[in-house]
Amino acid sequence: MIAITGIGIVSAYGVGKDAFLSGAIKGTGIGLIEHFNTEPYSVRNGGCVKDFVPKLYIPPMKARRMSRFSQLALVSALEAWKDSSFKENYDTSEIGIIVGTGLGSVSSTDSFYVGLLKRGPQETNPMIFPETVQNIAAAHISIELGFGGPNTTFSEAAIAGENALFYACGLLKNDMARAVLVTGADELTEPLLGGMDALRVFSKSDKSRPFDIMRDGLLPGEGACTLMLERKEDAIKRDAHIYGEILSFGFSSEPVQRLNYSSSGAMADAIKSALINESPELIIASANSTKELDIREALAIRDTLGRNVPVTAITSLTGFFMSSGVMKAGAAMLFIEKGVIPPIWGLGKPEIDGLRYVLKTEGLKIRTALVNGFSHGGSNVCIFLRGIN
């Protein structure tokens, strides 16, 4: 079994897992987007990491050269590494770094290209170009922490984090690493918001309300979460704090157009294949306040798990970002550890009845959770986790 022994979160609630949990149970992290001008676009609200001062965590000269994507990812990785209290002698080449991201740093690609258009081929900025590749965050993490183990980056729609976690578990099971830091990170910057707006995915009412009958599109978010993973026996041997373990994954996909979701039946297949003989006690849903996804996910949950399993949705806390799977898994561990579940903020009247939606912050003693990753493009990944409470 694979144990989770460190959690680092940078979210709309600020830096740190404690800030995340204490904020999440009080209210949504979504609010006015302030780090760029949203005037030209159709939404004002999003789940931005506010008051983020990277140089508090990263040497200032290095932080200045990094994209927001790299900064968010690196700070979450530093937090998770610290949280893991990994101290004994270790070989730096035995620690892996696996990152999942939706689009990496679109702002770097955009500013490099706009610089080229404005100033011509001889005046482009060579400092920005490296930040345009998706694997740049994993590079920074490996350089800052000095870890030369297995290193790769998954760039996916909304299953980037889930795929990164699955891959990291495989590395540990095959004994290709002693420990792996798994990061899911995405930035919210103006060109990304502009692009998503052009594709008309945003809420017309500027509100995020997963599963609600009135929902009318998503609100964008950003953030990063890193989990430290080790084989359970290794974690026990070093007397690590174990949040919980990753039990199993389930996959499915369906051939659909690139912006569409799979059917609820395919989503149900992913849920069923992740759960072996056991029902979860909590579901961290994928629902993102879009018309298409939420209804299908609700039906998939109702058809597979019935009406009694509490359902909450992280997108109501942080807004939508593609690599949120790692944060969903980290959040599940924190909710189980503290015995408290934040609600689906913004949900008033559900479209699909008969699910046990968490509507206000609840104290619940639970041990297991299911993380749903249902993405546009038709791919689905579910993760079944067990916490230690």
Q: Which of residues 68-127 bind other proteins (CB under 8 A)?
A: 92-93, 96-97, 101-104, 109-110, 112-114, 116-117, 120-122, 124-126
Residue 244, φ and ψ in degrees, nearest 5: 170, -170
Q: Which of 69, 86, 147, 321 touches other proteins by CB under 8 A?
A: 147
**Helix pair angle (106-119, 190-198), 10° resolution:** 100
1 binds other proteins (CB under 8 A): no
276 binds other proteins (CB under 8 A): no
157 vs 347, beta carbon nearer other proteins = 157
Q: Which of 82, 200, 307, 360 touches other proteins by CB under 8 A?
A: 200
What tokens appear for 286 in the block?
């994928």
Site for other proteins in 248-267 (CB under 8 A): 251-259, 266
What tokens appear for 246 in the block?
């990753």
State how far the Cα of 32 lies from the Cα of 45, in Å rounded to an integer: 4
Q: Which of 29, 46, 47, 149 touches other proteins by CB under 8 A?
A: 149
133 binds other proteins (CB under 8 A): yes
Of the ranges 8-16, 46-54, 141-149, 364-372, which one interacts with other proteins (CB under 8 A)? 141-149
User: Cβ(320)–Cβ(221) under 8 Å?
Assistant: yes
159 binds other proteins (CB under 8 A): yes
151 vs 264, beta carbon nearer other proteins = 151
Site for other proteins in 351-380 (CB under 8 A): 377-379
Site for other proteins in 280-339 (CB under 8 A): none
- Give me the least distance between CB of 149 and other proteins, in Å please: 7
45 vs 252, beta carbon nearer other proteins = 252
Q: Which of 45, 132, 226, 286 touches other proteins by CB under 8 A?
A: 132
The strand ranges marked E within the chain are 2-11, 14-15, 31-32, 45-46, 95-101, 151-155, 179-186, 223-231, 244-253, 283-285, 310-313, 340-341, 356-357, 362-363, 368-374, 379-387
Site for other proteins in 161-190 (CB under 8 A): 163, 167, 170, 174, 176
**Helix pair angle (291-305, 264-274), 10° resolution:** 50
36 binds other proteins (CB under 8 A): no
User: Cβ(215)–Cβ(209) under 8 Å?
Assistant: yes
State how far the Cα of 31 lies from the Cα of 110, in Å rounded to an integer: 25
User: Cβ(100)–Cβ(164) under 8 Å?
Assistant: yes
